[in-house]
Chain A
Amino acid sequence: DGGITQSPKYLFRKEGQNVTLSCEQNLNHDAMYWYRQDPGQGLRLIYYSQIVNDFQKGDIAEGYSVSREKKESFPLTVTSAQKNPTAFYLCASSMRTVLYGYTFGSGTRLTVV
């Protein structure tokens, strides 16, 4: 089945450590996105990539980094510079146009202690 796989589902890290969240898709979608979901704040865009080897900052990119070396993969690193990293992180993908909307992964819940 085609879809998006995010791993792990739950992740715990100590404060001050960098952590990388995985996102893989087999939908042959060109574009991929990382959103952060917090209660009462909806989904806020962290980074997005329209094409391999290219990505743009979203609305809340500070403290995060990404790479897009392969079409299928768009990992997100939460760095120690992110002041409030505990959150639910969603990865999504789409065709280059948004005509068919996004396909979302099941998310990773990151807890920093």
Chain B
Amino acid sequence: AQSVSQHNHHVILSEAASLELGCNYSYGGTVNLFWYVQYPGQHLQLLLKYFSGDPLVKGIKGFEAEFIKSKFSFNLRKPSVQWSDTAEYFCAVNGPPGTASKLTFGTGTRLQVTL
């Protein structure tokens, strides 16, 4: 079965600091990868996704993520965070084949950005 690990449970950064949130998955074959964000009191929203092609994908609000197949990783980055980025971030993976459209989510990382 697929598993997804997010090792950073709670991250506190000052505004303008750079962000990198880790995501590792277990299945070594073809996967589809996602990052979702949950702002306080709001729905989960899609930040970005990777299916194929360029392993560096750009999403909304200045976020990007890099797929490194050899490391089974899909880390989320942002060069300069804003107070409004305070939220919980979830990595999700679709795969292996046979799992149809099912997504497996990580445990989430709570990001707190201070002024």
Chain A residues in the interface with B (C-beta under 8 A): 31, 33, 35, 40-45, 48, 50, 58-59, 90, 92, 94-99, 101-102, 104-107
Contacts and interface: CB of A to CB of B under 8 A. Distances in A.
A31 B43 contact: no
B7 interface: no
A102 B46 contact: yes
Interface residues of B, number: 25
Nearest to B43: A104
Contact of A98 (B4, B6, B103): B103
Nearest to B91: A42
A40 B108 CA distance: 7
Given A41-B107, A99-B51, A106 B43 contact: yes
Contact of A96 (B90, B101, B107): B101
A106 B107 CA distance: 19
A90 B4 CA distance: 19
Given A99-B51, A102-B46, A42 B100 contact: no
